[in-house]
């Protein structure tokens, strides 16, 4: 698939001035309130080609967002990949060596393997470990409705509902190819009070993704009650329709070098009949496992070991 299917309506902000930060970790800044409260982290550019998160975090910096309790950390995860963004090849800046968001388990982070993303993940790890609550801002390949990926734990679902946007909350376990930052450490531990959310704000280059990223960020900070109400009042957010929950039951992981979909799926299609052919992976037929199966984020990167699509059903 060419990169130019969607028009590029966004411009990447200049984030060079945030490189030094104040934490000793490049592109990580922590504002301390001096009062007790949670440590909240808002992170952008886990994937370097996803511009809306950088725009939202830049907005918080430029508008002087400061915590009234606890601490607020603002970060740009894969800043090196983001810096390579090229309007002619906009997808090429997703990462440098490998997907930053498939490295987040102790065995990988403590292991011997090396890559640009692993070095950055190891560098960022102490900041992620300090956070009690994380919002990780992303965007998608296709222009479908925004999705809040809340993982499988009730605590994250509860937080997603307190945030109140976007409309669709997806409960999912992630990818066979590796663990996401939002599932790391306490975030993925049901016994820990920590919680993380990953929001997919829309298509990578669409103007609306910037609005969704900012609205979700402001609502996230409001839900955690760490910003001055006057700041929030200056930047009101439309809550929109009541939220719906989709529970992912399986991820289709590509097993061969010959995967193709049966149709041009974009995401959030509801396939009425169990057994409908979705695609072909070498000799294996991929069929819907039940009636009213919802397709989540069908991928254009149809590579062996990667997730082709996630399958779920409406559960709330
Ligand atoms: Zn992403």
Residue 1's pLDDT band (boundaries 50, 70, 90)? very low
CA of 306 to the centre of ligand 1 (A): 14
For 161-181, the pLDDT digits (tens) are 999 999 999 999 988 889 999
What's the pTM?
A: 0.95
**Selection from 86, 15, 4 nearest residue 45 by Cα:** 15
Q: What's the DSSP call for residue 147? A: E
Q: What is the mean pLDDT of residues 284-297?
A: 98
Residue-averaged pLDDT of the chain: 96
Is 90 exceeded by the pLDDT of residue 53? Answer: yes
Q: Is the pLDDT of residue 13 over 80?
A: yes
**140 CA from centroid of ligand 1 (Å):** 7
Query: If you measure from the C-alpha of residue 67 to the centroid of ligand 1, how many angstroms do you get, rounded to a whole number?
Result: 26
- Please compute the mean of the pLDDT values over residues 8-15 and round it to a whole number: 96
- What was the pLDDT predicted at 176? 87
Residue 48 CA to ligand 1 centre (angstroms): 8
Position 234 scores a pLDDT of 96
Nearest to 309 by CA among 298, 270, 300, 301: 298
Ligand 1 centroid to residue 47 C-alpha, Å: 5
Task: Report the alpha-carbon distance of residue 274 to residue 291 in Å, rounded.
Answer: 4
Phi, psi of 245 (to 5 degrees): -115, 130
Of 4-8, 35-39, 252-256, 293-297, the least confident: 4-8
Could you give the percent of the chain with pLDDT greater than 90?
94
User: Taking 60 as the threshold, does the pLDDT of residue 3 lie above it?
Assistant: no
Report the separation in Å between the CA atom of 34 and the middle of ligand 1, taken as the mean of its atom positions.
33
pLDDT tens-digit map of 178-193: 999 999 999 999 999 9
Taking the centre of ligand 1 as the mean of its atom positions, its distance from the CA of residue 139, in whole angstroms, is: 5
Checking if the pLDDT of 5 tops 90, the result is no
pLDDT at 2: 43
| 28 within 8 A of 73, measured Cβ to Cβ | yes
Instruction: Compute how many other C-beta atoms are within 10 angstroms of the C-beta atom of residue 224.
Output: 22
Q: What is the pLDDT of residues 23-36, one digit of tens each?
A: 999 999 999 999 99
ω into residue 38 within 30 of 0, thus cis?
no
Answer yes or no: is pLDDT of 4 > 70.
no
Ligand 1 midpoint to CA 263 (Å)? 23
When pLDDT is averaged across residues 60-65 and rounded to a whole number, the result is 98
Query: Can you name the residues that pair with 205 across neighbouring β-strands?
Result: none
Q: What is the dihedral of CA 216, 53, 270, 280, to 10 degrees?
A: -160
Q: Which residues of 127-146 are buried (b: 16+ CB within 10 A; e: fewer)?
A: bbeebbbbbbbbbbbbbbeb
What is residue 134's predicted lDDT score, i.e. its pLDDT? 98
């Amino acid at each position: 698939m060419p990169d130019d299917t969607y028009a590029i309506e966004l411009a990447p902000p200049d984030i060079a001035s945030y490189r030094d930060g104040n934490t000793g970790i490049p592109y990580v800044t922590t504002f301390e309130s001096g009062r007790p409260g949670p440590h909240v982290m808002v992170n952008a550019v886990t994937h370097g080609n996803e511009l809306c998160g950088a725009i939202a975090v830049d907005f918080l910096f430029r508008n002087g967002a400061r915590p009234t309790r606890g601490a607020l950390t603002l970060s740009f995860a894969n800043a090196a990949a983001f810096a390579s963004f090229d309007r002619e090849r906009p997808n090429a800046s997703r990462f440098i060596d490998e997907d930053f968001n498939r490295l987040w388990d102790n065995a990988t982070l403590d292991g011997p393997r090396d890559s640009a993303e692993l070095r950055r993940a190891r560098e960022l790890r102490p900041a992620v470990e300090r956070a009690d609550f994380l919002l990780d801002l992303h965007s998608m390949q296709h222009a479908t409705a925004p999705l809040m990926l809340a993982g499988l734990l009730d605590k994250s679902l509860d937080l997603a509902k307190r945030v109140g946007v976007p409309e669709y909350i997806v409960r999912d376990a992630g990818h066979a190819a590796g663990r996401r930052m939002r599932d790391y450490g306490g975030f993925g531990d049901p016994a820990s009070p920590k919680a993380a959310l990953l929001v997919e704000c829309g298509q990578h280059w669409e103007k609306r993704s910037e609005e969704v990223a900012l609205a979700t960020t402001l609502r996230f900070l409001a839900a955690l009650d760490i910003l001055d109400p006057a700041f929030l009042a200056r930047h009101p957010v439309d809550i929109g329709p009541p939220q719906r929950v989709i529970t992912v039951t399986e991820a289709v992981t590509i097993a061969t070098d010959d995967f193709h979909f049966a149709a041009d799926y974009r995401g959030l299609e509801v396939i009425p009949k169990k057994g409908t052919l979705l695609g072909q992976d070498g000799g294996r037929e991929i069929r819907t496992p039940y009636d009213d199966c919802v397709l989540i984020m069908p991928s254009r990167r149809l590579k062996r070991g990667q997730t082709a699509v996630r399958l779920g059903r409406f559960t709330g």
